[in-house]
Amino acid sequence: EPEVTQTPSHQVTQMGQEVILRCVPISNHLYFYWYRQILGQKVEFLVSFYNNEISEKSEIFDDQFSVERPDGSNFTLKIRSTKLEDSAMYFCASGRTVYYNEQFFGPGTRLTVL
Amino acid sequence: AQTVTQSQPEMSVQEAETVTLSCTYDTSESNYYLFWYKQPPSRQMILVIRQEAYKQQNATENRFSVNFQKAAKSFSLKISDSQLGDTAMYFCAFMKHETSGSRLTFGEGTQLTVNP
């Protein structure tokens, strides 16, 4: 069964460094999402992406965040200058069509900012 | 903006018994979807069940069923014949219907423990 994959599973970085989190969505899916979950808290939406552009972003998704789909298979989230409060689990999700509406989640990347 | 509220931070149930997790939501949308996701200790998000708001019939998936009360904006999850593998955090989530892909809005979660 196809699944969303994410790499790395755990990333440790120093405050101020740039990180890139990678996701490979399910191959025939058209809608892509990033969510984050700070430990012990609920899952929060960051951004959605469709047709090579951002379709929606939350208040969390400020100028230090960016997304791209560089090669038609990968979907990346870049954090330009990490802060301590960026430490969280980051989930990628993909959906086939908006009408089918189910989002399939990857296993997550745990980001630790020191 | 939509909000989702889960008022039970923790619940426990004995193996083979039935448990109901509560969820309420607030929205002005008329067309939307509701979901329950399960997050075991691995932290993977797994879809348990979904409900389309335009459908009056409550969704069921094997041992999992929902009680969808649209007027009351309530969406509870019933787990029958609870199993040890059901131990997890359960999140209720809302999605409005849009043509450009829509965010999931999650509740705070309910930690369910199934005891042997």
d(CA A16, CA A58): 22
Task: Give CA separation, B3 vs A1, A98, B23, B27, B87, in Å.
Answer: 33, 21, 11, 7, 25
Our CA angle for B44, B46, B50, nearest 5°, is: 155
The more confidently predicted of residues A17 and B98 is A17
* B5: three-class secondary structure by DSSP: strand
Please give the mean pLDDT across all residues of chain A: 92
Best residue in A49, A57, A103, A112 to probe B by mutation, most B CBs within 10 Å? A103
A22 interfacial to chain B (CB closer than 8 Å): no
Please give the mean pLDDT across all residues of chain B: 93
- The CB density around residue B33, as the number of other CB atoms within 10 Å, is 19
Cβ separation A42–B101 shorter than 8 A:
no
The more confidently predicted of residues B1 and A10 is A10
Looking from the CA of A68 toward its CB, the CA atoms found within 13 Å total 6
- Is the confidence at residue A68, as pLDDT, over 90? yes
Q: What confidence category does residue B10 fall into, taking pLDDT thresholds of 50, 70 and 90?
A: very high
The reported pLDDT for the residue numbered B42 is 85
d(CA A56, CA A45): 10
d(CA B98, CA B93): 16
- Is the confidence at residue B23, as pLDDT, over 70? yes
Cβ separation A43–B91 shorter than 8 A:
yes
- Is the confidence at residue A98, as pLDDT, over 70? no
Residues A45 and B98 sit within 8 Å (Cβ to Cβ): no
According to DSSP, residue A52 is labeled T
Task: Give CA separation, B78 vs B36, B60, B64, B90, B115, in Å.
Answer: 11, 9, 6, 12, 17
Q: Report residue A73 as tokens.
A: 């298979």
Q: What confidence category does residue B110 fall into, taking pLDDT thresholds of 50, 70 and 90?
A: very high
Cβ separation A102–B47 shorter than 8 A:
yes
User: Are β-strands B32-39 and B88-96 bridged in parallel, bridged antiparallel, or unpaired?
Assistant: antiparallel
Q: What confidence category does residue A100 fall into, taking pLDDT thresholds of 50, 70 and 90?
A: low
